[in-house]
Amino acid sequence: MPLSPLSPRRADAFTVAVAFRPLVTVVSVRGEVDLMTASTLHAVLDSLLADGHAVLALDIGEVSLLGAAGISVISTVATRLTLQGGSLTVRAPGALAVRILELTGLGHLVVTTAVDADATPELAAEQVRGDHSWTVAPRAVAPLPTVGGAGVPARTDVVDAALRLAIALAAATIDGADGVSVPLEREAVIGTVAATNETVLRMDAHQYSTDEGPCLAAARDGRWFHIESLADETRWPAFVPRARSEGIASILSTPLMLADRSVGALNIYSNAASAFGAREQRVASLFASQVSGILDDATSFDLVGEGLADALGARALIAQAQGVVMTRRHVSADEAAAILRRDARTNAVSVLLQATQVVSSTAAVHGASS
């Protein structure tokens, strides 16, 4: 997967606008909701709550980065509003934002509206019916919308975007971090799936090309490596000179665990020696477990999603075949199911194959079940 480093932060990118509508107060946010800007958003929402605005719609359609701090604000405000008998809905046209909210347990807040760049916040107002009832947006039917999903990006895209978000937060949070990357094993090949800048991308590449280095060691052995000073480092003789030529002086590599198996690493690089003290190491391990969590969710999501896609296809076909049998034989659904089952047995085929034959050919219906 090609890497797209995050664009440099723009201090002016973040804005909050509030529109007071008859049934709902629409808060439109744009730009990056990160550690620095989330407190502003929180303050705005707090003042609205204090003024008695109980039905809020948060439009994050223009948000370019939704960080953990922003998610925490959304979660806190949603809980408070629910307790007060109000409601918070989130309008998030981006599949990524929706996925992030789902991963963090806030998926039920999302109001799914058609993705329409020109849509005005009134859309949100229409969604919040029965204004003072305190039900939040209806919960989406769990896994079904993700199957065969129109508009849902390929899973690896979503995961990689979530990883980029996590490393951007790690880079911003960990003092002394000049770059963060996540190399990941996919289909038995290790590659960098997220990096905050070109230097750390090259740092990872140096390790792949020399086949050594702390990040590879962390990913392969599931062990944690802290190189306080590359000047004094004697392991990895091929890699270390290249790292020093990039201006890197210290490295912290934490393995990413997936079901007791190491599948990658969270690498934090610094231009200063001894940049990572006890606090930084603790924060790094927190981020590593968060990233492992993203991967874990994505993996189980993958397994369930793929299995369900097949199962749904089979189920639909069998239901159609039952419908055909019900119509032709004037029988109940249960009787139609029994007929399909018996015919499948007589023909020594699976029920699914029998159903396929029933649906695909009228002649087969007569031949097999009449």
Partner 1 sequence: MSSAGEPTLDALEAARRETGLSIAELWRRYFALGGMRTALEIDAFLNGALLAETRDRDVLAVALNETFAELGRDHRVPYSDDERAEAGEP
Minimum CB–partner distance for residue 282 and partner 1 (Å): 36
Using the contact rule CB under 8 A, the part of the chain among 26-34, 97-105, 190-198, 348-356 near partner 1 is 348-356
Tally of CB atoms within 10 A around 345: 12
- Distance of alpha carbon 104 from alpha carbon 290, whole angstroms: 11
Nearer to partner 1, 16 or 338 (CB): 338
C-alpha pair distances (Å), 245 with each of 158, 214, 271 = 34, 16, 11
Tell me which of 10, 186, 244, 341 binds partner 1, using CB under 8 A: 341
Report whether 220 contacts 262 (CB < 8 A): yes
CA 161 to each of CA 67, 149, 188, 306, 348: distance values in angstroms, whole numbers, following the listed order: 12, 18, 21, 21, 48
- Hey, which residues between 30 and 89 contact partner 1 (CB under 8 A)? none
Nearer to partner 1, 222 or 305 (CB): 305
Report the alpha-carbon distance of residue 108 to residue 318 in Å, rounded.
31
Residue 364 sits in the site that holds partner 1 (CB under 8 A): no
Q: Is 307 in the site for partner 1 (CB under 8 A)?
A: yes
Q: Is 322 in the site for partner 1 (CB under 8 A)?
A: yes
Strand order of the β-sheet with 25-33 is: 15-20, 25-33, 55-66, 87-91, 110-111
Shortest Å, Cβ 355 to partner 1: 9
Closer residue to partner 1 in complex, CB, 21/342: 342
CB of residue 3 vs partner 1: minimum separation in angstroms? 35
Q: Determine if 116 is a binding residue for partner 1 (CB under 8 A).
A: no
Asked whether 321 and 364 are in contact (CB, 8 A), the reply is: no
Residue 342 binding partner 1, by CB under 8 A:
yes
By CB under 8 A, residue 306 contacts partner 1: no
> 48, 60, 283, 351: which one contacts partner 1 (CB under 8 A)?
351
Which of 308, 323, 328, 347 is the binder for partner 1 (CB under 8 A)? 308
Going by C-beta distance under 8 Å and a sequence separation of 6 or more, which residues neighbour residue 14? 29, 30, 31, 32, 33, 37, 40
Task: Name which position in 137, 339, 359, 368 contacts partner 1 (CB under 8 A).
Answer: 339
Taking CB under 8 A as the rule, does residue 314 contact partner 1? Answer: yes
Q: Evaluate whether 27 touches 128 at the Cβ level (below 8 Å).
A: no
Q: Which of 152, 156, 144 is nearest to 313 (CA)?
A: 144
Alpha-carbon span 329 to 370, nearest angstrom: 8
Which residues would be at the binding site for partner 1 (CB under 8 A)? 307-308, 310-312, 314-315, 318-319, 322, 334, 337-339, 341-342, 345, 350-352
